[in-house]
Amino acid sequence: MGNNSLFFSLRWKLAILFGSVFLILQSVFAFVSYLNAQNNFENDRKKIQGSHINIAETLTKDSFLVLEQFAELVSVANDPSKETAKAQRQTVSALDENWSRWQLIWDIENIAFFDKQGKLVKSWGQQLINSDATVQRVLNNELPEHQLFCPDNCYQQAIIPVIGKSDITGVFSVIRSFSDVIIKYNDATTSDIGVLIANHRQTDKIKTSSKMQWKYRLTGMTKPEKNVPIFEFISQHYAIEEFLNASKRIELNNAVYEVRVLPIQQSDASNAPPFYFFVDEITTDLHHLHTDLKRVWLYGFIGLLASLLLILLALHISLRRITRLSRALPLLSKNHFDQFRNQISVKDSSNLGYDELDKLSFTALNLTDQLEYFDKEMRSHTFSLLEKSQELARERDFIKQLVELAPIIIIIQKLNGIILTINHAGLAGFEADSGSIIGKVFDIFIPESDQEHLTKLNHLRSGQYTDQIQMDGLLVTETGKLQDVSWLHKLLPSKQQGDEPVILTLGLDISERKITEARNIRMAYYDYLTGLGNRRKFHEEFTLKLASAERYGYQIALFYLDLDRFKEINDTSGHDAGDNFLKMVANALKETIRSTDLLCRIGGDEFILLMPHADLAGVAHIAKKINHVLNIQSFTCSGKSYSASASIGVAVFPLHGTTVNELIANADLAMYQAKELGRGQHHLFNPDYDYRSKSNQIVRWRNILEDAIANDKFVLFYQPILTIKSNTISHFECLVRIQQDDGQILMPSDFVSRAEELGLISKIDRI
């Protein structure tokens, strides 16, 4: 079995097999239960709908029957034995006498009496319909008729003939409201019902909002506040034919309704109004159905889960011995025989006898005993071999490790220079592999310029030097690069007679040391940021140039530059921005000066330019040129643009001094005088000018401002501002002052301009 083979437990295979069978069976059972529940619900709904329709039809027939019986009761008042005229007067008199009582008791809207010619004799109540045609049919057929008509509301009408001794003497018409049927239906079924009648009031001005708008209107509807919106919804979204043959379910306002439309007069050949409009809310029934269906699925899932758990439990109990054996077998490969025996248990006796698992355990234990015996035999033989070989390997490895891992180049070469061996450090130093080094002559890796090294090495090979030679030289690598190496060559005598002696060559890479020495020398004389000479470099060069100028009698101009806005850039935009600004200024100045001039950076934002062979007439031109070059430089940082300029002080040898320190000091004083003139100005040192007092004043104000910033000596004074018209204080003006240790208050006019000159105004702004 490969190491990459996927292990899949037998327990899980059987669990998946049985679980799949149970899952299929449970799914089929749940699905059949689901279908049965759905079918039972639909059948129950059909039975309920049929029952409701039967109730509505029965109530309608009973209502007409009662109305017809009442009409026959009224007709009894007409005595057929009397003459027609007397009989009619008797009937009219009886109706006049009982009309009010019958109207109240029977809820009668109208009673009309017609003679045998069909002419109206008298009508009681509101006349709601023209019944001439129906009356004529009753007279002709001598059979009662009843009808339902709906002008605005629906009414029932029963028309019966009045039979005399031998023929019909007249006709009675009785009309009452159809609402009694609707109320009884609602009481009997708790469902809602209404009547759809033809919308005779519809005009051209009434426009429907949908092509499926019904040409009927709803009247006599129970719970109109709930059911009228339902009618309006379905009349705009469905055709009436969808509700005539069977009920239809609609969803509206998070509720479900069953709607059915049924003609009231079933005897008509076509479906004509008026119609029953049945509305039955089944939201609760559907909710119960869905709850039952969820319960079916839930019980099925719980049963499936319980079955799977029982299967897993049974498999775990049955297969745990195999699992224990499979986990213990890897111990044999690790020679953990005692641990294997402890994990494998064998039954001593059993009422059910031994089985295959017991035989497997016995076989595994016998195999363990044999493997343990062979392991002990093998160990006893190998230990003796290991003890002997370890001594030899220990000595060999020490020497090899010493040579291979030594951080120096170790080469063994013949007297003719052919390389025999080289260690890892040597391969790294030669930048090659052993195949390209071994067999080559060592001399080809020494440059021709290093003749002293080759000469001494040849003397050692020829025997002129009897011991060793040591020197610093160069190494030419396989890639052609030169490296500084300290070499030691030692002649090794032969171990056996007749063998040729060899030379042990040791080399130590000193390239890093050489680079460090050169870097240290450069760091001592040059500024790391701008690459210009530093103060030490300037002093040495200036001393030499002063000696030359004094010897040959020419002038040297010393320009002392102090950048005007460096502190502002450094404080507002950060030190990185200040460094970039200094680099830009240094590059601009390098391009401006001559090759014979010396430009150095001696401080944070201070530069010195040394210009030999200068005259007083050209000094001002050079200073202006420097500021012109700086002004055209554009420096942008953090969305802000800065222009460069410098305050320049100039001193000329030998007019303004004869020593280095004297000239630098005088140029520095002239620079401070240039700062007094404003940004980007220059000033030539004048021996007659009192620089000392000016310098002392600058130092004094620097000390005052730096002390105030460090020790928080700034105080705020609030001055009230008075409104003249109202003679009231409108606001306060906040003014900053410096309070000194002696209690003296310094005004802004005294120190703000000084802070700007010294570059301290930004620090004051941030307090």
Q: What is the mean pLDDT of residues 534-560?
A: 92
Q: What is the pLDDT of residues 557-570, one digit of tens each?
A: 999 999 987 887 88
Residue 407 per-residue DSSP state: S
Are residues 563 and 602 in contact, defined by beta-carbon separation less than 8 angstroms?
A: no
Contacts of 198 (CB under 8 A, 6+ apart): 150, 215, 216, 217, 273, 274
- Tell whether the torsion through CA atoms of 139, 144, 147 and 152 is positive or negative: positive
Q: What is the mean pLDDT of residues 168-172?
A: 83
Percent share of the chain, pLDDT over 70: 91
> Given the structure tokens 């105030």, which residue do they identify?
708
Residue 598: predicted pLDDT: 92
Higher pLDDT pick, 622 / 94: 622
> What's at 560, amino acid-wise?
Y
Q: What is the mean pLDDT of residues 205-223?
A: 66
CA atoms within 13 A on the CB side of 661: 0
> Mapping DSSP to helix (H, G, I), strand (E, B) and coil, where does residue 561 land?
strand
CA distances from 754 to 370, 700, 758 (A): 101, 10, 6
Is the full-model pTM beyond 0.95? Answer: no
Whole-angstrom distance, CA of residue 235 vs CA of residue 218: 11
- For the chain, the average pLDDT equals 82
Question: Based on the number of CB atoms within 10 Å of its own CB, is 188 exposed (0-12), middle (13-18) or buried (19 or more)?
Answer: middle
DSSP-H helix ranges across 256-355: 283-328, 330-333, 337-343
> Mapping DSSP to helix (H, G, I), strand (E, B) and coil, where does residue 469 land?
strand
Whole-angstrom distance, CA of residue 506 vs CA of residue 429: 12
Residue 149: predicted pLDDT: 83
> Given the structure tokens 């201070």, which residue do they identify?
606
* pLDDT at position 600 over 90: yes
Residue 650: predicted pLDDT: 94
Most confident range (mean pLDDT) of 47-56, 280-289, 647-656 is 647-656
> Mapping DSSP to helix (H, G, I), strand (E, B) and coil, where does residue 338 land?
helix
* pLDDT at position 236 over 70: yes
Residue 628: predicted pLDDT: 92
Are residues 112 and 172 in contact, defined by beta-carbon separation less than 8 angstroms?
A: yes
* pLDDT at position 392 over 70: yes
Here the tokens at position 497 are 């007679």
Q: How confident is the model at residue 85 (pLDDT cuts 50, 70, 90)?
A: low
> What's at 140, amino acid-wise?
N
Residue 83: predicted pLDDT: 58
Q: C-alpha 713: how far from its chain's center? A: 51
Are residues 581 and 569 in contact, defined by beta-carbon separation less than 8 angstroms?
A: yes
Higher pLDDT pick, 314 / 475: 475
Q: How confident is the model at residue 350 (pLDDT cuts 50, 70, 90)?
A: low
CA distances from 71 to 78, 122, 160, 171, 493 (A): 12, 15, 7, 10, 156
* pLDDT at position 264 over 90: no
Contacts of 349 (CB under 8 A, 6+ apart): none
Distance in Å from the first CA to the final CA of the chain = 78
Are residues 153 and 177 in contact, defined by beta-carbon separation less than 8 angstroms?
A: yes
Tell me the residue ranges of DSSP E strands in 209-274.
Answer: 216-219, 248-252, 255-263
Q: What is the mean pLDDT of residues 372-376?
A: 83
> What's at 602, amino acid-wise?
I
> What's at 754, amino acid-wise?
R
Here the tokens at position 595 are 């090759």
Annotate 738-757 with DSSP letters as a single string: EE-TTSPEEPHHHHHHHHHH
Whole-angstrom distance, CA of residue 626 vs CA of residue 646: 8
Q: Is 746 left (phi over 0), alpha (psi -120 to 50) or beta?
A: beta
Q: How confident is the model at residue 82 (pLDDT cuts 50, 70, 90)?
A: low
Whole-angstrom distance, CA of residue 604 vs CA of residue 114: 131
Residue 4: predicted pLDDT: 56
Q: What is the pLDDT of residues 131-167, one digit of tens each?
A: 888 888 888 888 888 888 888 788 888 898 887 776 7
Contacts of 398 (CB under 8 A, 6+ apart): none
* pLDDT at position 234 over 60: yes
* pLDDT at position 761 over 90: no
Lowest mean pLDDT segment, chosen from 41-45, 344-348, 665-669, 684-688: 344-348
Q: How confident is the model at residue 27 (pLDDT cuts 50, 70, 90)?
A: confident
* pLDDT at position 2 over 60: no
Residue 208: predicted pLDDT: 42
Residue 442 per-residue DSSP state: G
Whole-angstrom distance, CA of residue 474 vs CA of residue 447: 7
Here the tokens at position 303 are 């049963």
Residue 652: predicted pLDDT: 93
Lowest mean pLDDT segment, chosen from 547-556, 633-642, 681-690: 633-642
Size of the chain, expressed as the number of residues it contains:
767
Residue 212: predicted pLDDT: 46
Whole-angstrom distance, CA of residue 609 vs CA of residue 622: 11
Whole-angstrom distance, CA of residue 180 vs CA of residue 197: 17
Residue 209: predicted pLDDT: 43
* pLDDT at position 538 over 80: yes
Residue 646: predicted pLDDT: 92
Here the tokens at position 635 are 């420096």
